[in-house]
């Protein structure tokens, strides 16, 4: 699995929106500044997340973005699929499209197993899981290990 900058930006943006204590819409410009994401890139990401029903956009001067459902009902997999499509690829194609012959035939099974393992992790990890206090860094610059 390759995590693109776009996927990383999308997860950071959605987590920042989910972590908003007030529940008020978060403006794209504020997200871009706080998360250090280029605003032009972020606009495309937010559009993809809205189309995938991860985010809801609110118009007007008090507008911005909110989650479409509670953070415990949105998974990392939802966000990754919204901005990147398939979770695993082989030579740029979905893992199930990889074809092999001869001695390499078994590789297809390996790629399916890799895809299954990745899917299990990202589809069982919600935004709420990532925002839980025991997942937060214990001190500046020091990350809490993920079990």
- Average pLDDT on 95-115 reads 87
Two tokens at 39?
Answer: 């605003």
Q: Give per-residue pLDDT as tens, 66-102.
A: 999 999 999 999 999 999 877 888 887 777 788 888 9
Q: Mean pLDDT for the chain?
A: 87
Which are the contacts of 65, defined by CB distance < 8 A and separation ≥ 6? 17, 25, 26, 27, 28, 31, 46, 49, 50, 55, 56, 57, 58
pLDDT at 141: 44
Residue 20 tokens read as 């908003």
Give, in degrees to the nearest 5, the angle at Cα 64 between 58 and 85: 90
Token pair in block for residue 8? 């990383």
SS3 content of the chain, % helix, strand, coil (to 5): 55, 10, 35
Task: Provide the b/e sequence for 81-106 (b: ≥16 CB within 10 Å).
Answer: bbbbeebbbbeeeebeebeeeeeeee
pLDDT score of 100:
86
Q: What is the pLDDT of residues 29-50, one digit of tens each?
A: 999 999 999 999 999 999 999 9
Binning pLDDT at 50, 70 and 90, where does residue 144 land?
very low
Of the listed ranges 24-33, 49-58, 97-106, the least confidently predicted one is 97-106
Instruction: Provide the pLDDT for residue 137.
Output: 52
Give the Cα separation of 120 and 78 in Å (integer).
12
Any idea which residue has 């410009």 for tokens? 29
**All domains in the chain, ordered by first residue:** 5-134 (1.10.10.10)
């Amino acid at each position: 699995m390759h995590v693109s900058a776009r996927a990383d930006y999308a997860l950071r943006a959605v987590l920042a929106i989910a972590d908003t204590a007030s529940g008020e819409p978060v403006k794209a410009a504020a997200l871009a500044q706080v998360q250090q994401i280029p605003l032009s890139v972020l606009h495309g990401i937010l559009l993809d997340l809205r189309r995938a029903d991860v985010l809801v956009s609110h118009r007007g001067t008090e507008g911005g973005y909110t989650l479409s459902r509670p953070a415990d009902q949105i998974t990392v997999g939802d966000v990754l699929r919204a901005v990147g499509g398939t979770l695993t690829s082989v030579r740029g194609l979905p893992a199930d499209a990889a074809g092999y012959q001869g001695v390499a035939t078994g590789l297809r099974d390996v790629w399916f197993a890799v895809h299954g393992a990745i899917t299990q992790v990202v589809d069982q990890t919600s935004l709420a899981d990532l925002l839980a206090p025991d997942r937060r860094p214990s001190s500046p610059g020091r990350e809490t290990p993920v079990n």
